[in-house]
Amino acid sequence: MKDSPESLGRGDAALGRGRESPIEIMERSVSEGSPAGFGELQSSLARYDNCGGEMRIRYARRYGYGVPCREVLDLIARYGPLLELGAGNGFWSFWLRRKGCDVIATDPKEGGMHNRNNWLSDLVEVGAVEALGMYPGRNVLMVWPHYHSTWPSDVVQRMKPGQVLCYVGERPFGCCAPLTFFSSLKRNGFGMLHRRRTPSWDKVTDYLTVYRKGEASSSRDAPCRWY
Ligand SMILES: C[S@@+](CC[C@H](N)C(=O)[O-])C[C@H]1O[C@@H](n2cnc3c(N)ncnc32)[C@H](O)[C@@H]1O
């Protein structure tokens, strides 16, 4: 990893746990080997306005776009073995492996601040469609695909009935995943199994949504359908 935690932290650790920056919380979680909970991360993120400002940029440089917490990782881990597509620096797969989940992380590593650190030594540098062909039969995880990317809908189309897709990001018209992704979920018969909030920066509302291809949506776990 190129950046040291010291160069990234906000320097407010001395103020105590309740005032830790998101970076300080993540560094502590990594060193303790146990991810922080939703509440702790969300309270810390909420202290940074202006979409997270400088802190968000420093966070993304080290960990990526999505903010993983214990509850969300536990839910995703239930769906292993997994194939993570567009994994960036591999931080989500890093945590999922810590939880004993069998996960292969892939990303073509286009340029960007979120691709500089490597949390895994074996991340496979391929695009999503190629990865799906290389590792068939695994359930799929995608976290914060770009809002202009076409690969999420290509993946949805190619997944087989019964396969599960875990998507972390904003809803339609949000900052990630284009509308074509959501419409192809409907066209390809995906139904929602779960939805829950994930820690989010100011003016961002991220969710984990779990879908299965060929599954009717359950109204109990589907407060809004999005498609
Ligand atoms: C917004 S970043 C999110 C990265 C990571 N999931 C995170 O939360 O930090 C989008 C990622 O999509 C990757 N990407 C670009 N084209 C792709 C493709 N054809 N297939 C899979 N991933 C792709 C980029 O390299 C980048 O890492």
Atom of ligand 1 nearest to the CA of 110: 25
Share of the chain above pLDDT 90, in %: 79
User: What does the mean pLDDT of the chain come to?
Assistant: 89
Q: What is the pLDDT of residues 79-97, one digit of tens each?
A: 999 999 999 999 999 999 9
Structure tokens that stand for 17 in this block:
């746990």
Nearest CA to ligand 1 atom 9: 64
Please choose from 146, 166, 170 the residue to mutate so as to test ligand 1's pocket, defined by most ligand atoms within 8 A of CB. 146
Task: Judge if the upstream peptide bond of residue 161 is cis by omega within 30 degrees of 0.
Answer: no
Asked if the model's pLDDT at residue 15 lies above 70, the reply is no
**pLDDT reported for residue 142:** 98
DSSP tally for the chain: helices H, then strands E: 9, 6
Ligand 1 atom with the shortest distance to the CA of 149: 16
Please enumerate, as own/partner, the contacts of 193-197 that have beta carbons within 8 Å and a separation of 24 or more. Answer: 193/164, 193/218, 193/221, 194/75, 194/221, 195/221, 195/222, 195/223, 196/71, 196/72, 196/75, 197/38
Query: For residues 193 and 214, what is the distance between their CA atoms, to the nearest angstrom?
Result: 11
Q: 33, 41, 31: which is closest to 68 by C-alpha?
A: 41
- CATH T-level assignment (fold) for domain 5-226: Rossmann fold (3.40.50)
> Quick one: which of 74, 75, 86 has its CA closest to 143?
86
| Cα 127 to ligand 1 centroid, rounded to whole Å | 9
Ligand 1 atom closest to Cα of residue 142: 6
